[in-house]
Amino acid sequence: MHEWDRFLRDRLDLHKAKGTKADRMFAEFADHLEDLYQDAISRGDSEEGARQKAEAALLEADWQAVGGRLRPGGGKAVIAPKPLDALRKRLPLDTLATEIRFAARLLRKSPGLSAIAVLTLGLGIGLTATMFSIVHGTVLKGLPFEGAERLMALDRQNLQHGYAGPGVPIHDFVYWREQLQSFESLSAYAGQTMSVFGEEGADSYAGARVTANAFDALGVPPVAGRGFRPEDDLPGAPAVVMLGYHVWESRFAASEDALGQSLLLNGEPTTIIGVMPDGFRFPFLHDLWTPLRLDPLAVERGRGPRLEVYGKLRASASQASAQTELGAVAQRLASEFPTTNAGLTAVLTPYADIGKEPRATLFSMLAAVLFVLLISCLNVANLLLARASSRSRELAIRAALGAGRARVILLLVTEGLVLAAVGGGIGVALAALGIDIFERATASVEMPFWIDIGLHAPVLAFIVVVTIIAGVLSGLLPAIKASGLGLIKALKDEAHGSSGLQVGRVSRSLIVAEVALSVALLVGAGLMIRSVSELGRLDYGFATSAVLTGQLSPPETTYKDGSARQRYFERTLAELEGVPGVQVAALSTGLPGVGSGVAAVVVEGQIYERPSDLPLSNRDAVSAGFFEAFAVGVLEGRSFDSRDRAEATPVAIVNESFAQRFLGGDEVIGRRIRDVRMGEPVESGVWRSIVGLVPDLYMSGVEDDDDQPAGFYVPLDQTEVRVVYVALLAAGDPLGLAQGAREAVARVDPTVPLISIQTVKGAIDQTTWYFRVFGGLFVVFGFAALFLAAVGLYGVLSTSVGNRTREMGIRMTLGARAENVRALVVRQALAQVAVGLGFGLILALLISRGLSVLMYRVDSWDPITFGVVVLTLLATGLLAAYVPARRAGKVDLMVTLRH
Amino acid sequence: MFNSELRRGSLELLVLSVLDGSPRHGYEIGKLLSYRSDGKLEFSVSTLYSILYRIEDRGWIRGRWIERSGERRRRRYALTSEGQQALAECRAEWRAFASVVNQVIGYANA
């Protein structure tokens, strides 16, 4: 709309006219003129011609007749209700709807700014929503069972060094079950790879042997057939199995005929009695369940299979009270059975607890992404602030017409909300994309079945809340500043080409805050990048990409004792050695770089009072070619060979850390150690002669970047082994050996498949997935923050230069050269960046401490990372200042003076 | 087109009659007068608004700011009940006056 107001007041020589009556009349005349103007335009006149016609209409008029009305106090006043009074009387909802329409219209009028604002908010909201859906799916959602928050996992703990061995022995479980009052019931399971043999061949599934009441605590009934009954769980009972839904679908086409059928499970004919619902894969990622059929009487205390124990707290018990009771029960056990239980206690943790560290990491990342959102809001606030300054006249007039400060604030906040609403829509789309990418990046990671990341209702609700807050934040600051203006000041400022709403201290502070937040995020991102690169550069000291691995679990029902299994392993090893392309074949109970077993160890010459005092060491049983398969040379002594059979002298090979820690770094060859299974009596351990020394091979995996653990190796033939890894050193591509290896294994026993076939490098990478995935996320956050801060800085500088053309022009009139003016702009940009850097570095130091768990061999104050970030921010500041600086230097003096 | 004295006397009647029916803003009133008279009656901005303000002071019309969807806010005037009455009286008076004048001038030429 053409600005008639000034014209009216100028030409009518009525500057002194004031009051609501005058304003009203001016508004009316302005409308009239506008109509004249628009009519002329629509009839084909040019803008200039139309304007002149309208102005002419005004000048012809006899204003004396009207004049009386315009002089203060002239004429009888019929005070029409103030326009906004009428509006105020309406319902608040009406008002809001009006404001929303008005805001939407205004935003449509400046599409460029609106687009930038919407995209900025969309990016911030989208990243936040992605991160929150990850946090929600992994930590907040919990198990999909009723009362899942009362489900606890129980485990033993060594009072000295914490780790008490894998699982809980049968007798302890039985004792707990009898004694504990705090639980509705106690259940247990033991994981077992279950091979199913049928017409389609052998398939291997993750299975679990469970107590009959295992699913009762979860409140999940079978979807077909029946669940386990106590009689199924008795030793010697007929073998039965419950199928996971996926197995039922793929092997039996989800037909009810499957119930009652028999299949060969681990070599034993087993009857299918029921099917569990889709998505149920308790306890972790399991697909088949059989009864545990515990027989405590058949096994010596301290021996036998180890169990994972869980139970549901009674409604009357709390975690703390149950813990107290459990501790007391463990103490009674320790005093009744000191040989096996001395020095041991028990702890319970919520079943779905992924661990303190992962939880801390996830929440830190959520905090980090909220930083990015904050930067988005600050950017949009700056944009709206800059625009409000060019609307100061319109806003002031609104205020003069009785709008009131609250109303103007409402308008600007509404604009923020409208922008945020659209941005929120984009954010949801971005979140869907982000979740998809995350799931693909973690597709090879085995996550528990209850982790469910997606745009569920709580996540969407979170998005709505975040959107509203973002909108209010973005609109509130400009609103408060803009609404505080007086009409005359605004009109005067506009007349002089400056703006009362200077891009001043507020804007600059916002930029400083943005830079600070960006620095913090970028430092985090930089540390992640360094960590991942350190991981990638890690010199393992053994062959990884050239070695193929897989797993074998000969079932106990077919191979009933140790010697049967040994014969199986011998035959399998011989077949594997014959596969074309295999240079060396080996079997072992652990993989270097991935993990190994743990045992208690006695060093000859040392005295220990109780079993729980024994030091722990990593331990693996390996076949003769193991070290050669990984291209590792022995440092002293010899490797295992054909001499080291079951009947021969028991021997061991130790690694360097073991030699340092337990043997004083002296001569190791010929010394003796005793190899004791965790939790078993010392006397059960075998004395072994050390025959070799090898380098440290990351026996606990590569994650632990502290000192490598002490470890020793024993010959495969000289100990009891149930599940083994296969290691095949390939002449060429190791994955090319896969088919040959599968066939070789099938030739020995077709019911036992070779599973988890991958390169050793692949297996190691799987253990470090979360460095890459979360590191990657952090990098995304960091760069999003940098981008947003740069855009914000550019926007603010641009507006600032635009508003100060007069000042620039005057400077140049007074002799400043273009370079000086440009330098001034750049200096100011760098000043803001520098202050932001200062705060940001402090913030970064604080954050990096919290992220230490995601860092690999990188100091949290790594100078290279900090240095690079500082330089990046400075460069960004320069870049953002470039265009505005050039514009400042090009200001046309004449244009300036006319302003 | 017509003698200004003649026009001025009938101005208030003209404006009231245009407002009979629905509320209108100043520009609309001017355009309607022009339209209904086939362009023979055109009023300047000042004249139009001074009439409006005068009869508004008298209480014959009431002006209000109204916002319709798709349009900006305009001040529209509507007849009050006194205005309705005044309009009826003015119409009657005009018809009576016109017929008397016709009678007199026609008589002279007859």
Place of tokens 């028990």: A346
Which of A72-76, A803-807, B86-90 has the lowest average pLDDT? Answer: A72-76
Which residue intervals of A136-189 are DSSP H helices?
170-179
3-state DSSP assignment of residue A202: strand
pLDDT tens, position by position, A863-882: 888 999 899 888 888 888 88
Q: What is the pLDDT of residue A96?
A: 73
- Answer yes or no: are the C-beta atoms of A313 and A152 closer than 8 Å: yes
Q: Which chain A residues contact residue B65 at CB under 8 A? A: 80, 83, 86
Neighbours of A741 (CB within 10 A): 24
Residue of A nearest to B65 (CA): A83
pLDDT in tens, A509-533: 888 888 888 888 888 888 888 888 8
pLDDT at B4: 63
Average pLDDT over residues A160-178: 85
Q: Which position has the higher pLDDT, A190 or A55?
A: A190
Q: What is the pLDDT of residue A243?
A: 94
CA-based Rg of chain A, rounded to a whole angstrom?
38
CA distances (Å), origin B77, targets A89, A107, B29: 21, 32, 9
- Is the pLDDT at A192 greater than 90? The verdict is no
Choose among B26, B57, B62: nearest Cβ to A28. Answer: B26
> Measured on CA atoms in the order A443, A449, A453, A456, is the torsion positive or negative?
positive
Residues with Cβ within 8 Å of A255's Cβ and at least 6 positions away in sequence, in order, are none
Q: In this complex, do A83 and B65 lie within 8 Å of one another by their Cβ atoms?
A: yes
Average pLDDT rounded to a whole number, residues A472-500: 62
pLDDT band at B97 (very low <50, low <70, confident <90, very high): confident
Bridge-partner residues for A185, per DSSP? A312
Query: Are A32 and B59 within 8 A, CB to CB?
Result: no
Token match 């059960």: residue?
A684
Using one digit for the tens of pLDDT, what is the confidence trace for A814-840?
777 778 888 888 888 888 889 999 999
- Residue % of chain A over a pLDDT of 70: 88
- Chain centroid to Cα A50, Å, comes to 62
Q: Are strands A616-622 and A597-603 parallel, antiparallel or unpaired?
A: antiparallel
Ramachandran area for residue B22 (φ above 0: left; ψ -120 to 50: alpha; else beta): beta
Residue of B nearest to A58 (CA): B45
Of the listed ranges A55-59, A421-425, A772-776, B72-76, the least confidently predicted one is: A55-59
User: In A, which residues are within 8 Å of B72 by CB distance?
Assistant: 1, 31
- Which residues of chain A have a Cβ shorter than 8 Å from any chain B Cβ? 1, 24-25, 27-29, 31-32, 35-36, 57-58, 60-63, 65-66, 69, 75-76, 78, 80-81, 83, 86
C-alpha span between A676 and A415 (Å, rounded): 72
Q: Per-residue pLDDT tens for A126-156?
A: 999 999 999 999 888 888 888 888 999 999 8
Q: How many CB pairs under 8 A join A and B?
A: 60
Q: Where is average pLDDT lowest: A249-258, A664-673, A866-875, B66-75?
A: B66-75
* Residue from A2, A7, A25, A28 whose CB has the most chain B CBs within 10 Å, to mutate: A28
> pLDDT tens-digit profile of A320-372?
999 999 999 999 999 998 878 888 899 999 888 877 777 878 888 888 899 88
- Judge contact between A173 and A308, C-beta under 8 A: no
Q: Tell me, what's the pLDDT at B110?
A: 47
Residue A501's pLDDT is 43
Task: Indicate if the alpha-carbon torsion angle A341, A344, A350, A351 is positive or negative.
Answer: negative
Do A184 and A315 meet the contact criterion of CB atoms below 8 Å apart?
no
pLDDT value of residue A18 = 61
**pLDDT (tens digit, 9 = 90+) per residue, A748-806?**
988 888 888 999 998 888 888 877 888 888 888 888 888 888 888 787 777 777 767 76
Could you tell me which chain B residue has the CA closest to the CA of A86? B65
B11 vs A556, which has greater pLDDT? B11
Asked if pLDDT for residue A177 goes beyond 90, the answer is yes
Q: Tell me: the pLDDT tens digits for A209-239?
A: 999 999 988 888 999 999 999 999 998 899 9
* Torsions phi, psi for A857 (to 5 deg): 55, 35
Task: Name the residue facing A61 among B44, B56, B65 (closest C-beta).
Answer: B44
The residues near B66 (Cβ < 8 Å, ≥ 6 apart) are B23, B73, B74, B75, B76
Task: Check pLDDT > 70 for residue A83.
Answer: no
What is the rounded average pLDDT for all residues in chain A?
83
Q: What is the pLDDT of residues A453-484, one digit of tens each?
A: 999 999 999 999 999 999 998 888 887 776 66
Q: Are strands A288-291 and A240-243 parallel, antiparallel or unpaired?
A: antiparallel
In chain A, the residue whose alpha carbon lies closest to the alpha carbon of B56 is A78
Contact A65 B50 (CB under 8 A): yes
Give me the DSSP letters along A421-449.
Answer: HHHHHHHHHHHHHHHHHHHHHTTTS---T
Write the ipTM. Answer: 0.84
AA letter at A177: R
- How far does the CA of residue A412 sit from the closest CA of chain B (Å)? 19
Confidence tier at A69 by pLDDT (50, 70, 90): low
Q: What pLDDT was estimated at residue A481?
A: 72
Strands A547-552 and B24-25: unpaired
- Quote the percentage of chain A above a pLDDT of 90: 33
Residue A121's pLDDT band (cuts 50, 70, 90): very high
Helices (H) and strands (E) in chain A, counts: 27, 22
Report pLDDT digits (tens) over A303-322: 778 899 999 999 899 999 99
CA distance B62 to chain A (A): 8
Identify the three-state secondary structure at position A815: coil
pLDDT of residue A446: 75
Site from B51, B64, B75, B76 to mutate, A interface, most A CB atoms within 10 angstroms:
B75
**Predicted confidence (pLDDT) per residue in A632-676, tens digit:** 999 999 999 989 998 999 999 999 999 999 988 778 999 999 998
Write out pLDDT tens, residues A564-619. 999 999 999 999 999 999 999 999 999 999 888 888 899 888 887 776 778 889 99
Under the banding of pLDDT at 50, 70 and 90, the label for residue A895 is: low
Whether the per-residue pLDDT at A430 is higher than 90: the answer is: yes
Chain B residue numbers with beta carbons less than 8 Å from the beta carbon of A24 are 75
Q: Give the model's pLDDT for residue B91.
A: 87
In this prediction, residue A85 has a pLDDT band, given cuts at 50, 70 and 90, of very low
**How would residue A84 be classed by pLDDT, with cut points 50, 70 and 90?**
very low
Closest CA to A858 of A361, A525, A518, A442: A525
Structure tokens that stand for A15 in this block: 């500057």
Partner residue opposite B25 with nearest CB, options A31, A66, A83: A31
